[in-house]
Structure formats: C-alpha cells, structure tokens
Structure 1
C-alpha cells in the first residue's frame, strides 16, 4: 500500500512539469495569501531552484488564465451592455428621477472603465495582487470576500468562483489510501 501511495503522490506532485497549476492559482485567489505565499511555499517545499521555476510557471498560468477570462468576459459584457443601453436608457429617462439616472450612468461608466482597463494602466489582476494581504481567521469565507469585492474585481471574482469550486480530491486517490477492501477480503466478506 505504501508503494501505491508513493506512486500516486509522484503522479500528482512529484514532477513539476506534470503538476496542475490550478491548485496554486486557487491559493493566489485567497486574499489572505496571494502570490507571495505561493512563492514562499514553493521555495520551502522544492528548494530555491525548483521552487522559483514552479513559481514562474504558476505566475504565467495565472496571467494566461486571467487574460483568457478577461477576453471572454469583455466580449460577452460588451454585447450585453450594447443591448441594455439601447433598450433601457430611453425608458429609464422617462420613468426615473434624473438623480437616479445619473447614478446609473455613472455606475455603467465605472463598470465600462474597469472592463476597458481604464483609470490606471494596471489590470484587475495587478491591482488585486498589489493590495495588502487580508488578515482573517481560519474560518475566513473566501467566496464571501469575492462576493463583497466583486464590484472592484468583477472578472477576478467570477474567475475565483469557478476556480475555487474545483474539487481538490478525486475518488482515485481516495481508493489508493483506503484499506477497507483489504480488511474485508481478510474477513472473507469480499
């Protein structure tokens, strides 16, 4: 059983080239850790050389994933905004008080500016990573944090919801570490 456990460990964690970087991206999306913690942990686990190499791969995977998400989200949002602005603005102007309409237009502009990367030239990802790490208890609600901060990081919050929903374990690894079947075979049940 120890050999099977070691083989499973090596399959998923032993070779840096074969490792799924998504688990590290999930840690980056935890506002209590971000990339600094991932780099520190990788160097602690794999040493300076391998740790830095894997850190670079995580960095590039994170940027590629964000850019892909951003491109997909921007295309869909732009299409939705064109439809929404064309359909609702004239109706809202005639039915709503002017102050409410001004607020609505400002919010839409702010959202447009964020999606277009306006304001400063930092991407949403760069802004998120440049902020201080959150202090939080062990029971910290990561998805709750992303929900609260979805206005500031609309693309990242959607990405976080999907990345953090990925199950970490699989039935294959569970069966590798299980001894229940062996015990039942000795009792003559199986």
Structure 2
C-alpha cells in the first residue's frame, strides 16, 4: 500500500511539474519584440527640424513576475536640413546621423496584469555622422559641393513608459546619448554626440 501511495504521489508530482512547465513555455512563446518609434530633438531646434526613426528587435530571456529582461539591436536614423539651420547661410543639403547599437532592456510591470510598464534601456555601438550639400555664393559666382562623413563610438540610455494591448504595445520614449556629456569636449545636449530625443512608438510581440 505504501508503494502504491508513493507511486501515485510521484506520478502526481510529475504531472504538476509538467503542467507548470507547459504553462511556463506557453508564457514564453512570445519572446521576440519589434518596435518602431518616431523621434524628435527638442534641443536642436535652431539647427532646423531634427527628426527621425528608431527600429528595434529584442528577445526576452528572463521573465519573473514583475520584470522582463531583453537584449537585441537598434537601428537609428535622424536628419537635419541645412537650409533650416539658423547658423548657416547659402547652404542646401542635410546632416544625417545613423547608428547601429546593441541594447539591453529591463522592464518593470507595477501591476499583476503586466499591461503598464516602465523600462530602462542602455545602448552601445557606433554612429555615422554625414553632411552633404551645396554651398552657393552668387555674389562671388561660386558653387561648391561638399560631402563629409565621420564614425564615432556612441553609448547612452533610453527610458520608456508604455502599455500593452494584446500583442501590441504603445510607448513614449526619451533617448539620451552620453558620449558627448562624459568626454572632455563641450557638454551641450544640442551637439551630435550628446543627443536628447523624445518620441512615440509602437511595438509587436511574436
């Protein structure tokens, strides 16, 4: 009788364990998150309308009750039109910065339903800054085209607050590059290596 009871308890334990693993794997089926955001630079308004997008692909690998930890990559691109720059004249062209970043995100869900969240997302990678256009000086009968490109190491952090609706999530974000603030150069948020963006975005979980 004791052996039968032991066998039944063992089988029941394996059944409960299997059910837990099934629930766990079901919860982790959706582990890929893709996000797109439209960003705007508040501090660079004197340089013209500075706007752009960021695209992210992240994979979740740790999900306790109120947290989610993800890692992935980010592509970021922004543009300034030189004819809107108050500091330059007789220029027609643009300044673009494009970044490729590795990212890690820690999300916190304050409620059990895991809908509302806040997150911190450090990033590190490389940014290409490219300026191209035409300088036109009619008083000197001179026209000169220019094209300059520079790649630099970049890092920083973004903060997000969002809300999940099924497989979708809507979020507001702020994006701060710390490279120009922590080096030995000028410490101005308007510089290209110390950018500060705010934006709105949408994400989808697979």
Above 0.5 in TM-score?
no
Larger radius of gyration: 2
Structure with the largest fraction of strand: 2
Q: Compute the TM-score of the two structures, normalised by the length of structure 1.
A: 0.25
When normalised by structure 2's length, the TM-score is: 0.24
The answer to which structure, 1 or 2, has the higher relative contact order (CA under 8 A, 6+ apart) is 1
> Which structure is higher in helix share?
1
